[in-house]
């Protein structure tokens, strides 16, 4: 595309790069190029200024408690919202730093068409499925096994019949098929711990390099890690599911992905509990006293403290460990071990049909890993007419490249590269969108590294007397909306037991 043509396309940058407060300095990569050097100071917005102050060691004066609640919930992603939903009968207060609810499961809209900025789909056997129904959402079937675009060719049903059509030399295709056969014989449940403690790349040894390339594209999009850093059990299970999907696809979603769930939850709660929900409220300290916990937050530039009988931390652990006072060293260290990747989603908005070949298509060798057709699940509904063809390009990045997202110029550059790669993917895609929207997030997806699920996550979710830990990163083996909901429900049960003076429910992993 010529520079002139691109000049006419509107690029919109949204999302706070420091997905929470305070950000951890070690998580922001050293600046590596001029763009970053010149513009790192451009991160603005009140929330980030507060985050930076806390990160830099500023201790905020904690005013005396001005209100008391049964439960304060910190973080209004799906986990915090689900906790609030389950605590509707209680006097709760839900605090969210951003100006909107949803966290990493958040939908946006362009001229009446909804698209996802994060979480895409759920599986029917996940608790999220009946949970969605419970809150009044009818899950819509995806019914389209994943395709891949390799060397300009669209290969439908990659891990089903597609393997015979991969545009590689015959020995490479055979390697893919041999690998699939080997993986299908593994009983992941039986070998659980062993498989979750070793890297997936151990299983790719001796196979074609193209196979590793495929997984090094697939893994970061789904669980934030390439094969060398992925817990093998997770990837093997995932392949087994994909093979199954080529027979029956059990995935469900809505336009806007799983942002539909957080939208519905926040609508329900706001209708009845508006006065107990606060956006733009950045929590800076959670301090346990003998009979209560004090939560201090900044709202509109002012510090406030509220007291609660219990607190649910639904924030990611890299933030949680900075604001919860009195965490045992072992638990704080475990939280510190969780690594998070930067992960923007670039939505290409076309005013004509450009790409409607399947729900999720894998594109190894590009700036982005896969593309999702935003309105796929409603395309076949009677009377539906596609007004806009919105393509969500999932663009997981390396930890070391986080700095590129810190300023608008870096973010626009990423979006422009995504567009350029998309237009070259295969014939017929060299079309200009009307707009390109990039939703940037600095640390939204934790990496499912070996040992995380078996050794680290059991430690991070231990309650601290009256402080309880939700958020998807408490659970594992993979960051999912489902795990966020399950973590919330576990935390709510623990809170209820603590408030009633009952023994704690037995600790066990709730997802996986
Ligand atoms: C690009 C992408 C694609 C994904 N695709 C899928 C998918 O297809 N299916 C799936 O199941 N999952 C998917 N996931 C994972 C899923 O989105 C997450 O697991 C889930 O949304 C996490 O929800 P949560 O509430 O646990 O955490 P979060 O969404 O991280 O919510 C935490 C909230 O806390 C707030 N917060 C942080 N600090 C503070 C503070 N100091 N004070 C107050 N509030 C604070 C944040 O702003 C945020 O809203 C995807 C994730 C990404 C990034």
> pLDDT digit of tens for each residue in the chain (512 aa)?
545 555 678 999 988 765 444 433 333 333 333 333 333 333 333 345 666 566 666 777 899 999 999 999 999 999 999 999 999 999 999 999 999 999 999 999 999 999 999 999 999 999 999 999 999 999 999 999 899 999 999 999 999 999 999 999 999 999 999 999 999 999 999 998 999 999 999 999 999 999 999 999 999 999 999 999 999 999 999 999 989 877 889 999 999 999 999 999 999 999 999 999 999 999 999 999 999 999 999 999 999 999 999 999 999 999 999 999 999 999 999 999 999 999 999 999 999 999 999 999 999 999 999 999 999 999 999 999 999 999 999 999 999 999 999 888 999 999 999 999 999 999 999 999 999 999 999 999 999 999 999 999 999 999 999 999 999 999 999 999 999 999 999 999 999 999 999 988 876 554 44
Which residues share a beta bridge with 345? 394, 439
CB 471 within 8 A of CB 75: yes
**Angle between helix 232-245 and 188-197 (nearest 10):** 140
For every residue of 390-426, DSSP letters joined together read EEEEE----GGGGGGGGSHHHHHHHHHHHHHHHHHSS
pTM across the whole model? 0.93
Q: State whether the beta carbon of 479 lies less than 6 angstroms from ligand 1.
A: yes
pLDDT of residue 96: 98
Looking from the CA of 177 toward its CB, the CA atoms found within 13 Å total 13
DSSP 502: P
Angle at 42 between CA 39 and CA 45, to 5 degrees: 165
Among 48, 75, 282, 470, residue to substitute to test ligand 1 (most atoms within 8 Å of Cβ): 75
Question: Using CA atoms, how far apart are residues 164 and 160, in angstroms rounded to an integer?
Answer: 9
pLDDT of residue 20: 43
Cβ-based neighbour number of residue 189 at 10 Å: 10
Q: State whether the beta carbon of 397 lies less than 6 angstroms from ligand 1.
A: no
The protein residue with its alpha carbon nearest to ligand 1, atom 8, reads 120
Question: Using CA atoms, how far apart are residues 236 and 248, in angstroms rounded to an integer?
Answer: 18
Among 127, 234, 481, residue to substitute to test ligand 1 (most atoms within 8 Å of Cβ): 481
The β-bridge relationship of strands 293-299 and 281-288 is antiparallel
Question: Using CA atoms, how far apart are residues 359 and 26, in angstroms rounded to an integer?
Answer: 36
**Angle between helix 170-184 and 209-223 (nearest 10):** 50
**Angle between helix 78-86 and 481-500 (nearest 10):** 40
Q: State whether the beta carbon of 317 lies less than 6 angstroms from ligand 1.
A: no
Q: What is the dihedral of CA 53, 59, 63, 68, to 10 degrees?
A: 80
pLDDT of residue 507: 66
pLDDT of residue 483: 98
Nearby residues of 413 by Cβ (< 8 Å), 6 or more positions away: 35, 404
């Amino acid at each position: 595309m010529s520079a002139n043509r691109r000049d006419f396309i509107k690029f919109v940058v949204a999302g706070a790069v420091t997905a929470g407060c305070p950000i951890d300095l070690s998580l922001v990569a050293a600046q590596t190029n001029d763009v970053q050097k010149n513009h790192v100071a451009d991160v603005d917005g009140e929330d980030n200024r507060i985050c930076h102050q806390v990160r830099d060691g500023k201790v905020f004066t904690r005013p005396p408690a001005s209100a008391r609640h049964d439960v304060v919930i910190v973080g209004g992603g799906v986990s915090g919202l689900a906790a609030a939903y389950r605590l509707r009968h209680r006097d709760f207060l839900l605090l969210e730093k951003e100006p909107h609810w949803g966290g990493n499961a958040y939908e946006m809209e362009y001229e009446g068409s909804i698209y996802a900025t994060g979480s895409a789909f759920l599986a029917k056997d996940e608790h999220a499925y009946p949970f969605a129904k419970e809150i009044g959402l009818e899950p819509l079937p995806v019914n389209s096994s994943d395709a891949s675009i390799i060397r300009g060719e669209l290969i439908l049903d990659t891990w089903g019949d597609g393997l015979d059509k991969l545009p590689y030399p015959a020995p490479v295709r055979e390697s893919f098929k041999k690998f699939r056969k080997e993986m299908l014989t593994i009983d992941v449940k039986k070998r659980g711990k062993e498989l979750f403690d070793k890297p997936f790349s151990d299983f790719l040894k001796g196979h074609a390099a193209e196979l590793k390339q495929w997984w090094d594209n697939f893994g970061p999009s789904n669980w934030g890690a390439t094969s060398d850093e992925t817990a093998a059990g997770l990837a093997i299970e995932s392949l087994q599911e994909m093979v199954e999907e080529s027979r029956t696809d059990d995935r469900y979603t809505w336009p806007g992905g799983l942002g539909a769930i957080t939208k519905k939850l926040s609508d329900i709660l706001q209708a009845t509990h508006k006065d107990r929900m606060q956006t733009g409220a950045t929590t800076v300290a959670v301090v346990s006293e003998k009979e209560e916990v004090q939560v201090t937050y900044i709202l509109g530039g002012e510090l406030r403290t509220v007291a609660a009988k219990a607190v649910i931390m639904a924030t990611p652990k890299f933030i949680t460990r900075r604001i919860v006072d009195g965490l045992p060293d072992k638990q704080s260290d475990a939280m510190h071990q969780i690594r998070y990747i930067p992960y923007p989603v670039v939505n290409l908005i076309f005013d004509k049909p450009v790409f409607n070949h399947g729900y999720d298509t894998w594109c190894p060798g590009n700036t982005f890993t896969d593309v999702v057709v935003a309105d796929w699940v409603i395309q076949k509904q009677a009377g539906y007419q596609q007004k806009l063809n919105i393509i969500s390009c999932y663009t997981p990045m390396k930890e070391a490249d986080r700095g590129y997202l810190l300023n608008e110029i870096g973010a626009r550059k990423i979006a422009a590269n995504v567009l350029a790669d998309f237009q070259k993917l295969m014939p017929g895609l060299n079309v200009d969108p009307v707009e390109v929207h990039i939703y940037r997030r600095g640390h939204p997806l934790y990496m499912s590294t070996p040992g995380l699920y078996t050794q680290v996550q059991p430690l991070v979710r231990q309650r601290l007397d009256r402080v309880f830990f939700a958020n998807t990163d408490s659970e594992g083996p993979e960051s999912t909306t489902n795990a966020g909901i399950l973590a919330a429900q576990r935390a709510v049960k623990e809170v209820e037991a603590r408030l009633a003076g009952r023994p704690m429910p037995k600790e066990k992993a709730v997802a996986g």
